[in-house]
């Protein structure tokens, strides 16, 4: 019997790189959502171990391992690459039952998937080697809520299949129906935290793009204007405009709608209004002149990472 590492070594470089990117996304999601990171990585690393087998080899291996083969699988043996990889790990005694299940259903998804299963389906779909318009937005959603990103990605995948005249796997349709039942619960859980996460995303982006002195203020106790302010500065009006654009882009990718923008390419103050979040990008003199931080001195400063 080959070990999973030996099987990995036999994959094409392209497949190995994809699997390593999926493992990296899995690790990040595991840390954010309190899942065992080593198992999450393993799921990413091993999910496509059987992806490069021929149709006949997949069918034969599925039969040997006692993996169920339905009519759809007979027609499209590639559907068996998840179940076969999962059975290999089971046979070798590697990985938890959650990992085996996640790998088994990583292609079709399935109703009742736990967090590991949802994370793997998402990670496979959003790893940065993939290219489609909403990829980054779904990845960002997954950082906040696995269930929500899972649902959005299922919808996206089903739309894609429909657009190409392909029949979706029944498990995928059931998975979507299953998540829609949870929608209300999800909305209730996620929305109250969201403005904070928007603020953190804006602040992180500002820092990455070399914004100066980035401050996040919690406004919830001091005004109804917004939940959070993010304040930062740039050296020149050109940098102010560029910083505002980077932040605007990051929030747009995360699916956060911009309500108003004040200021443009030559402004000393650009304001991005997202309702619950307002971002202020200043030149340093302008920031000192208006001194919002003193004006709103009662607001708590939020630490972000
Ligand atoms: Fe796969
Ligand atoms: Fe994959």
246 near 238, Cβ under 8 Å?
no
From ligand 1's centre to the CA of 51, what distance in Å? 6
From ligand 2's centre to the CA of 2, what distance in Å? 20
Nearest bound ligand to the CA of residue 18: 2
122 near 30, Cβ under 8 Å?
no
Question: Residue 168 gets which letter from DSSP?
Answer: P
Give me the mean pLDDT over the 81-85 stretch.
97
From ligand 2's centre to the CA of 97, what distance in Å? 19
Question: How confident is the model at residue 6, as a pLDDT?
Answer: 98
From ligand 2's centre to the CA of 48, what distance in Å? 5
222 near 296, Cβ under 8 Å?
yes
Question: How confident is the model at residue 187, as a pLDDT?
Answer: 42
Nearest bound ligand to the CA of residue 20: 2
CA atoms within 13 A on the CB side of 5: 1
Residues 6+ apart with CB under 8 A from 298: 221, 222
From ligand 2's centre to the CA of 125, what distance in Å? 8
Beta strand pairing call for 260-262 and 228-234:
unpaired
Q: Domain extents for the chain?
A: 4-181, 190-302
Give me the mean pLDDT over the 184-193 stretch.
40
Question: How confident is the model at residue 181, as a pLDDT?
Answer: 62
pLDDT tens string 215-232: 999 988 887 778 899 999
Nearest bound ligand to the CA of residue 106: 1
In angstroms, rounded to a whole number, what is the distance separating the alpha carbons of residues 215 and 128?
29
pLDDT band at 63 (very low <50, low <70, confident <90, very high): very high
Query: Span 4-181: which CATH code?
Result: 1.10.3210.10
Q: For 190-302, which CATH superfamily applies?
A: Beta Polymerase, domain 2 (3.30.460.10)
Nearest bound ligand to the CA of residue 103: 1
Q: Which of 184-188, 265-269, 281-285 has the highest mean pLDDT?
A: 281-285
Collapsing DSSP to helix, strand or coil, 292 comes out as helix
From ligand 1's centre to the CA of 183, what distance in Å? 27
Nearest bound ligand to the CA of residue 23: 2
- Report the percentage of the chain scoring pLDDT > 90: 66
Question: How confident is the model at residue 186, as a pLDDT?
Answer: 41
* Average pLDDT score over the chain: 90
The two domains 4-181 and 190-302 share their CATH topology (first three levels equal)? no
User: Which H/E stretch holds residue 267?
Assistant: none
Q: Tell me how far apart the 2 most distant CA atoms of the chain are, in Å.
A: 75
From ligand 2's centre to the CA of 137, what distance in Å? 19
Element counts in the chain: helices (H) and strands (E): 15, 6
In angstroms, rounded to a whole number, what is the distance separating the alpha carbons of residues 296 and 190?
27
pLDDT tens string 97-144: 999 999 999 999 988 899 999 999 999 999 999 998 889 999 999 998
pLDDT band at 207 (very low <50, low <70, confident <90, very high): very high
């Amino acid at each position: 019997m080959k070990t999973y590492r030996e099987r990995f070594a036999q994959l094409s470089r392209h497949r190995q790189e994809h699997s390593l990117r999926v493992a990296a996304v899995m690790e990040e999601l595991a840390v954010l959502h309190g899942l065992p990171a080593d198992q999450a990585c393993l799921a990413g690393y091993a999910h496509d171990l059987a992806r490069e087998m021929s149709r006949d080899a997949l069918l034969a291996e599925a039969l040997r391992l006692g993996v169920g083969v339905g009519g759809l699988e007979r027609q499209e043996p590639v559907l068996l690459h998840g179940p076969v990889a999962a059975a290999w790990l089971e046979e070798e005694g590697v990985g938890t039952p959650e990992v085996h299940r996640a790998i088994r259903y990583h292609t079709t998804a399935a109703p009742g998937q736990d967090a590991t299963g949802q994370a793997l389906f998402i990670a496979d779909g959003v790893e940065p080697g993939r290219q489609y318009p909403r990829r980054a937005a779904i990845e960002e959603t997954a950082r906040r809520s696995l269930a929500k990103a899972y649902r959005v990605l299922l919808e996206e995948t089903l739309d894609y299949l429909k657009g190409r005249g392909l029949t979706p796997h029944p498990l995928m349709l059931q998975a979507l129906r299953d998540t829609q039942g949870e929608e209300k619960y999800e909305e209730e859980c996620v929305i109250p935290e969201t403005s904070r996460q928007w603020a953190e995303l804006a602040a992180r982006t500002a820092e990455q793009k070399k914004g100066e002195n980035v401050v996040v203020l919690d406004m919830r106790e001091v005004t109804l204007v917004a939940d959070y302010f993010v304040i930062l500065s740039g050296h020149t009006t050109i940098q102010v405009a560029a910083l505002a654009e980077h932040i605007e882009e990051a929030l747009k990718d995360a699916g956060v709608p911009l309500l108003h923008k004040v200021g443009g390419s030559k402004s000393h103050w650009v304001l991005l209004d997202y309702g619950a979040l307002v971002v202020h990008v200043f030149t340093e003199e302008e920031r000192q002149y208006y001194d919002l931080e003193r004006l709103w001195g009662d607001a708590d400063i939020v630490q972000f990472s």
